Structure 1
Amino acid sequence: MTNTTMNGSVKTQAAAAKKAAKTLSLLSTEEKNEALIMMADQLEQEASYILAANEKDLENGREKGYEEAFMDRLLLTKERVHEFAEGLREVAKRKDPVGDVLSSWTLDNGMNVEEVRVPLGVIGMIYEARPNVTVDAAGLALKSGNAVILKGGSSAIFSNKAIVEIMHQALEKSKIPQEAVQFIASTDRNATQELFTLKEYIDVLIPRGGASLINTVVENATVPVLETGVGNCHIYVDKEADVEKALPIIINAKTDRPAVCNAAETLIVHEDWLAANKDRLAETLKENGVTVHGDAEAANYLPDVIPANEEDWANEYLSLDIAVKTVKSLDEAIDHIEVYGTKHSEAIVTENNKTAAKFMKLADAAALYHNASTRFTDGSALGFGAEIGISTQKLHARGPMGLEALTTVKYLMSGNGQIR
């Protein structure tokens, strides 16, 4: 492989990515798909090599005392390698958005106009512990015709280097140039800072991780940013909620995988429902090992409640902790979400369709649920094949960002000598 794919200066790597993007834009869907399948096969064949590298990161994490939730995001297993390889195969099956004609018309002067979907160009991806993001980001970028520059966190440096090395081995046998997938191996913060400013080479930056990382990118980058967000997700249990639906939804959203961004962090519960179902709620939370941080009203009904403070309402626990806020009305619940929500995912549990409809209209988030768990805010779960992140902003893309979110449009005009 060339030294510009992992070991060159950041500027050199960015320039190489931009050049590769030109080649990539000329490839057919079939040629891109073939490369993705090769990458998937190669990753599975070299799973033991990847896991050995991952063990180095895990050992460093144990030495540094990383929290359990962080270690879970960092951990790779043979099953997880299979999952991200399958994700590449699923992306290969998805319809290629590049070249889609979104609209077309003919002007009065006879000139034809087409609005056509095209790649963004070069995507800079800045992310933290989860090595699977390396694969997801590369696969989605390449299928949508984009080159990608990957800057993972130092905590996963060995895992990410191994994964990219394996992907490069596959690309060497494909029509996609290796330079289309760049990995910044330097753990120096200056390398990340340089990435923020390479506007002449990079078309968009996508940060994926905690609030500190995302804010740093948003506040310092001169390259346009597609902002993803942390997940302080809420479940509002209305006074007309069915307890047989509410309890499984709460437990799934909180405990299925608490270290991810679509896990529920706050339970907002109508005081009437809580009064009627306090014993079952308390028993269910206890059985599932959930620690409750609650307001005074919640403490009146539930045992062993840790008094909640302002930090609890805003906290993304990423653990088996949950904040419990009691309210007297839907409006109060929506007001609480407005103050503390991160515009990621919000859910309501109620049998009153009018109440649900009002919640869906007024709650401001990328994903809203009625009688379902927030855990479905995920590219794979929603049928995107994979995602490059969950956008919590409102421009260009919102929610799980799949292939179409990594494209823009061109207007193509065809005439017969028309002048203005």
Structure 2
Amino acid sequence: MIRLPVIIFRSRAAQPASDPVMFLTGGPGNSALTGQRSGKSNPFLDARDQVLLEPRGARLSQPALECPEINALKGEIGAGRVRAEAAQAALVDAAATCRTRLEDAGADPNGYNSVEAADDIEDLRVALGYPQLNLYALSYGTRLALTVAKRHPASVRAMVLDSALPPEVNYDETASANTWRALNAVFDGCAVDPVCATAWPNPRADFDALVAKADRERLPFGLADASIDARGAEVVQAVGMALQNPRLIPLIPRAVGEALAGRYEEMSSWITQAQGPSTFTWGLRLSVWCNEEAPFQDADRVRAQTSVDYGLGGTDARAASPDMCAAWKVAPAPAVENAAVRSDVPTLILAGEFDPSTPPQWGRRLLANMPKAFFVQIPGLSHGASFNACGGRMAFDFINDPATPPVMTCVAKLPGADFAASATEAAP
């Protein structure tokens, strides 16, 4: 048996709407319940309940498909203490070890995928007596939401899809290209800002030179943890961390340029912030990914994503490698799970301009098969485009009235990334 905990935040309304909002977290491999303590500041509760269901296999479920050996190893790889072929071999061994342990404990890795999770959501809806649900989803959660809409269309009243991951996009084949798209958006943003361009005339070349220099020699970043071997991959990892933070995005040209000039303080801070073990529940992540994503991807293209020829220091931005999936040994999903979803559910699709993981084009492509969908790209933001006042208000308004097109006033007023900030001095 699989046991999944549920949290229900009850509406503050005297007569709540009959259709609650359910948040679907990203990953796969994240917990939906960890850290949830109160609905006090939750605006959705003014009109309706909010329901949270822990995904099967996630941290608070029973069983939880935890792979602590992978979590720790990801920290070692991120610190540069394990690299390249040795890192991949160690990840494969860790995946095989974890699978054996979970299977010996009675878990079946084949029982964890988006289809099963979608049916869990439908079972919960029925058990709680709600006629319909509103799905508010982030990243991988958008793929799950689309699966719910495909399998149980009458049960979904409306959806908000933030940082969309359509099932047909083959994520791991384009991991490096997605990173470069976001980086190029930053470099181009600096180039067309007169203040930034004066301070840093060629941030793209600076980035290339810094990654190459860090790969040639161990630069004196002055890290508090001397065991961190900060080479090109660790520089890219640090900049990737900054790409996820709208406050840091405009400062990337400065951090890169200063480091190239031998002033390492800002980049050193970013490298430190980017450290630590993985927090995913890796057994769940591998079961989902190796069932419904890996079988439909070109394994050679996926393996090539970590090549230094991409200019990213060999950074691995893939969700899982083909070799890890081979070690995980789950059956492939039917081909329909890799096909675009067609749905008439009213949907608001939100994307961040600088998202390095799920590019805005992936959200926009959903419009071809979703006639009641609206797409909004929010300037200056990244992954999780709705986690700000403007995006949150649009999501709230759409859930309350999905028949009305989103009002774009707050989006039009957003200033976007101010790359002139890269011309100022970094705080000590």
Q: Same fold (TM over 0.5)?
A: no
Q: What is the TM-score when the length of structure 1 is the normalising length? A: 0.32
Q: What is the TM-score when the length of structure 2 is the normalising length? A: 0.31
* Structure 1 or 2: more strand by fraction: 1
